[in-house]
Amino acid sequence: MRKLFLLSAVFALTATSAFSQLINRCGTTESMNQLFLDNPGYREQLQQIDEFTNQFIANNPEGTRSVVNIPVVVHVVYNTTTENISDAQVLSQIEILNEDFRRLNADANETPAVFLGIAADCEINFCLAAQDPSGNATNGITRTSTTKTSFSSNNNVKFTAQGGKDIWDRSKYLNIWVCDLGSSLLGYAQFPGGPANTDGVVIHYKYTGDIGTATPPYQYGRSATHEVGHWLNLYHIWGDDGNGCNGSDQVADTPNQANETYGCPLPTIRISCTNGPNGDMYSNYMDYTDDGCMNVFSTGQKNRMQALFGVGGSRVSITTSNGCVPPGGGTCNVPAGLNATAITTTTATLNWGAATGAVSYNIQYKAVSSGTWIPTTSATTSKAITGLSASTLYEFQVQTVCASSSSAFSTSTNFTTSAPACTDAYEPNNSKGAAKPIAVGVDVFGLINVGTDKDFLSFANTVSQPNMELTLSSLPANYHLDLYDPSGVKIFASKTAGTADEVITNNTAVVGTYIARVYPANTSTFNASDCYTLNVQIGNSPFRTVEMAVPALGGEMTNIYPNPSNGNMVVEYSSISNSSVQLIAYDMMGRVVFSEVSFATEGTNSFNVNINNISTGIYMFEVRNGNEASRMKFSVAK
């Protein structure tokens, strides 16, 4: 939030909570205050950079900027083998920076809705250096053994003579030092315009990347995101003025905020400095929340960072650096050798071959049936993706990002996610009496493990919703589906051939417990390893009756008239044989209001039914023939 800017207040050292006395999320303020003492002209230099920034933003509206690629060298300075973090851990940090500064982070969807309108892709990429300042090939990582057991924010780690590692040319590289910063300091950075031999970012080895030594609650690499934000001219979001409301982060679209935030208050709205109703933007990378709570830069912050790379900007020289170009140059080639490994129901690892001149890679993937690509990035030649759907065909493409250009996207490579793990939690359930209860409205997975297996699954219609639909899908063999009413009578069956879905629609349901039976068409058509899926839906609106849902009856009721009636009516019933039948009427709560035994002959039968003392309302009439029944609604109007 842009407020009255008191430069001395912005850089004041504050300690606003007991927690901050234990963990110093960021030592940039302390380091800057020391630079002011050691370099009297630095304060004025920062003021000039801010004036340039404001003018640049005014003259260059959002949408006219290009992506900036920043070569990075990571100096690992270690005293123990644990501190000598792996190349993979360094690469994980570079990937996190790329995701966070391009808003490709997996937790971008956790940004509070009130701030989504200002959430920004900062259009800044980071790449590990491919050549050093002398033009030699490098992997962008230096390693220095030191006798120093720890460092602080005094910049000693930036000098070989003081047990650290000398800087690479700051006009061509972002220098990141990884070391032991003691028991409380997570990291610190130098703002633009400071001394050339200390320019860069320092991160504790315990809070670098998201693997290896990464330690909760700062295990997702956001310490580097925060400190690189400082290196790119971003202040703390609360303006470093203690608990007051007069400091400034010099950004117009971030809310005025009283102080830093620790832990993760989500989803609480915390209001300070009259910034209601939206409250503090503590999900911003420039606050002090836990790594899992940070997920956004604002558009105003993006504009401030991008100003550094405009003509005359403090860091414009880095845009012409060849630090990410291998010695000898080369073209920006399209990645080849695409494949997917480690495929599960919801995850996969996408792989490709290294491309000449690659700084990083852009990846996009989607379900083949979808029209929307999902973008992400990687600093390596693989990318683990999550949130996929089971048994789904996906495709992905990869693009090489070079120092000064990008390749085309590769052609698509397809992969299919695994089927859901088949864990049958309902056995034994081989009879109506042993039926296991299932939830309505969710997919239920079951297994037919032998040819004689039959699964009985019960579900309740509890609030007199008259319409239900059962769908049996993902069939690994030819299975059939039956439906039994609350009295135990089979009222419907679906017997589609092959592995097509079985569907039963019952729009005359009553309150009570129903039972679904799943069974193989015969003893040879079953699959002992793959699950079927059963889904039951119940509602007040009728489901569309489908042809696959056919009555399995000794006969069928064909008509009731008059309908509505006063309780005296004719019920027509077609029987396939001579047999005794039971005539039953009940209300929509399942209470019997009429019951009588009669005899049906083969063919069409007409039963005269007189129901005395029946009230106006809607009822159900049933003709039961042995263990099967036919039903039809009727109404009474008096």
**What b/e string do you get for 61-75 counting C-beta neighbours within 10 Å, with b at 16 or more?**
eeeebeebbbbbbbb
What angle in degrees, to the nearest 10, is found between the helix axes of 28-38 and 42-59?
120
Output phi, psi for 253, to 5 deg. -95, 0
CA–CA gap between residue 92 and residue 188 (Å, rounded): 19
End-to-end Cα, the chain, rounded Å: 72
CA angle 149, 141, 229 (to 5 degrees): 85
Scanning the structure block, which residue is given the tokens 């019997």?
592
CA distances from 545 to 468, 505, 511, 586 (A): 10, 6, 20, 23
Q: Is 578 exposed, middle or buried (0-12, 13-18, 19+ CB in 10 A)?
A: exposed
Q: Give the chain's largest Cα–Cα span.
A: 110
Sign of CA dihedral 330, 334, 338, 343: positive
CA 422 to centroid of chain Cα atoms: 24
β-pairing, 555-561 with 490-494? unpaired
Residue 638: closest CA among 584, 566, 570, 572:
566
340: which residues sit within 8 A by CB, 6+ positions away? 348, 349, 350, 351, 394, 396, 413, 415
Sequential DSSP letters for 368-405: TT-S--EEEEESSSEEEE--PPTT-EEEEEEEEE-SS-
Distance CA 504, CA 516 (A): 10
The tokens describing 84, both together, are 């000598």
Does 227 qualify as catalytic in the annotation?
Answer: yes
Which residue in 83, 227, 260, 502 is the catalytic one? 227
* Residues 6 or more apart whose Cβ sits within 8 Å of residue 599: 578, 579, 580, 581
CA distance linking residue 135 with residue 129, whole number of Å: 11
**In sequence order, what are the residues at sequence separation of 6 or more whose Cβ sits closer than 8 angstroms to the Cβ of residue 183?**
none
**Identity of the amino acid at 189:** A
Residue 612 is given by DSSP the state: T
What's the distance, CA 396 to chain centroid?
A: 18
Cβ atoms 408, 334 nearer than 8 A: yes
Extract the tokens encoding 182. 């003691």
Whole-angstrom distance, CA of residue 108 vs CA of residue 375: 12
- Is the omega angle on the peptide bond into residue 428 within 30 degrees of 0, that is, cis? yes
> Catalytic amino acids?
227
